[in-house]
Structure 1
């Protein structure tokens, strides 16, 4: 078969162009560290990498949400801890007021401090996170759940229902807080009997203060040590229509029980917060492990073997240089050189 000089030239140039394309591709792989730059180069691997990247993005979003929820819960835990301190102080005041040496004036002074403790408890119930959202605001966390009415000296409740659930992992959600009602106004009157009703701590503390403010006859008479009401399901209504020391004694007896119920309830709330914080920590570890595995699989799927790529690049450069030299030599051939 006869091969023309022009055909030899075309084949040589075509071979060099193909080698140049392969060399450029290898150079891009070495520069980027990736096996392919476009999905068309390896559609299957590109689709797999895309799916894994989406999974990694979801895990990253879960981590961001976990950090936010963790921060809110820790701030709520601090608020609840401070609320426990408020109730403990009120309990100390109630015990101190239950003394035969107390006068109407001294009890009124104790009531004034309890009024201030009510305001402190309300401020804790209106605690905000770093973004200005109310921790106990429920779905309406842009509105303060409580306000204080100076005229009635009572805490007013605003709407704050709902508990927001936040996804922290595949198929796993956690509440990012508790409503003010659940923490401060729905204290079980009896831990084992739901029928006993619920205690509103704001109302209870205000009633204690009112009872202590009421002038009592026989103010210097000994007060009988308070005892737990015989009927545990008795409604814990701390209002008192009497003006006697005996009436005050009954209020103080119930008050200590109510405060103990409140302290137990806040302890349960802190436990619930701690459980959720542990869940976030566990899920964060799971997310980190999954992210590490996916990142490794994605790298195996799209990253090059850098040693192999450098070796291939060296061979392709040598091959292209050899082809170029051969082309130059062939181009110089002519029958006139042999005449």
Structure 2
């Protein structure tokens, strides 16, 4: 026979009520938090899956943050490059206007003044910053001004790097373009330059004795006859005017040199070079020309230098037609970079949508693992509450039992 004491009844009742209170408290916490799994011990397998899902969602959140930063920087860069394109288009218009030889020196100086203003604007654009105060075209050196100048010499102080930001587990995108490739290392048109010495014999030169081939596909073109000249300066002028009269066919232009006196420089932009042929009355002594072929030379220089040289040549009254090709090449480079920026913007926009869809799916999976079924939990809460109340009432009655009540 087991002896049931009052102490045993009390201990068992209290133990049962405390357990029911603990269950009720846990259910109440679930209802207040909206989560089924409050601690790993509630459901170890589900807790591990939730931790994995939380880590994946945190990573996606960082990717989306990177995409936001990329979008801001790339849109800013695209706006700057659009402005540079418009600026270079205006420079080209002014170059075409300034290449008109009928313009007076004052007119060319006026054009040069606008060109120099555009040069100042271009320099400012190249040193643009994003909304965070970082320079757009400095490579990795985003905290340092990329371009500087001293006495007309332009320097690039950045590097050739491109920062990459990760937007997916296996995908990174550059957040900008370095200034060296954008503004400094720009191809110029193939240029053939021929030096013409001062003539010493001023006799007449017959038509057809001097032919020039500018390498533009039109072949050798005769520049016509040159009458006898009184001075070397007059002969140089005759030769210059005759060559420039055929420029539309040869693509070759002639300009006076200040030193040495009575000398010329022939220039051809593009093509395969300049070929000079002489016969009969045309010799080096009567023309200053030397028979032979001069091949074109291609070089690279900054857009800033091209525009500054254009302005200087306009101010001195020289022909500036050769700069048209240089400006065109500069614009092509900017347009190519703009296309790259646009492609990157499209890529990050598409990835942002993919990341958003993936994050939504992960949130659904996490909800299935940890979110509460309110209907079931409320029903359980009410059942536990009733059970606890019943246990408490039963304890009160049992505790009040005594044989003295029946004596």
Question: 1:202-249, CA deviations, whole angstroms, 9 ceiling, x for partnerless residues?
Answer: 222122122212245xxxxxxxxxxxxxxxxxxxxxxxxxxxxxxx2x
How far has the Cα of 1:165 moved from its partner?
0.7
Q: Give the secondary structure class of the aligned counterpart of 2:172.
A: strand
- Give the deviation of 1:161 after TM superposition: 2.3
Give how far 1:332 is off.
Answer: 2.6
Among 267, 287, 291, the alignment partner of 2:335 is 267
Contact 1:137 1:160 in 2 (8 A): yes
- Let me know the Cα RMSD of the aligned residues: 2.0
- Picking from 269, 282, 285, the partner of 2:350 is 282
How far the C-alpha of 1:178 sits from its partner, in A, is 0.3
Q: Which runs of 5+ in 1 are unaligned?
A: 217-247
How far apart in 2 are the matches of 1:268 and 1:155? 23
Contact 2:127–2:147 (8 Å) recurs in 1: yes
Superposition map of 1:132-281 within 5 A: 132-149=133-150, 151=151, 153-189=152-188, 198-215=300-317, 248=319, 251-252=320-321, 254-281=322-349
- Residue aligning to 2:241: none
The match for 1:85 is 86
Does the 8 Å contact 2:138/2:157 carry over to 1? no
Higher strand proportion (structure 1 or 2): 2
Q: Could you list the per-position Cα deviations for residues 306-336 of structure 1 after superposition, in whole angstroms to 9, with x for gaps in the alignment?
A: 1111100000111111111222222233334
**Cα distance in 2 between the residues matched to 1:200 and 1:255:** 13
The answer on whether the counterparts of 1:97 and 1:107 sit within 8 Å (CA) in structure 2 is yes
TM superposition score normalised by structure 2? 0.69
Separation in 1, partners of 2:54, 2:81: 40
Unaligned regions of 5+ residues in structure 2, if any? 190-296
Count the aligned residue pairs: 299
Maintained 8 Å contact 1:199/1:258: no
Would you say the 8 A contact 1:94–1:256 is kept in 2?
yes
* Secondary structure of the structure 1 residue equivalent to 2:128: coil
Q: What's the offset of the Cα at 1:8?
A: 3.0
Tell me, in whole angstroms, the C-alpha distance in 2 between the residues paired with 1:156 and 1:115: 18
Secondary structure of the structure 2 residue equivalent to 1:36: coil
Q: What is the rounded CA distance, in whole Å, between the counterparts of 1:294 and 1:196 in structure 2?
A: 57
Match of 2:121 in 1: 120
1:128-173 Cα offsets, whole Å, 9 max, x none, are: 1112111001111111111233x3x343332332111111221211
Partner of 1:228: none
Give the alignment of 1:299-338 within 5 angstroms.
Answer: 299-338=367-406
After TM superposition, the structure 1 = structure 2 runs for residues 31-50 of structure 1, keeping only pairs within 5 Å, are 31-50=32-51
Cα deviation for residue 293 of structure 1 reads 1.3
In structure 2, do the counterparts of structure 1 residues 140 and 256 end up closer, same or farther at CA, with 3 Å as the change threshold?
A: same
Following the alignment from structure 1 to structure 2, what is the Cα–Cα distance between the partners of residues 3 and 145? 94
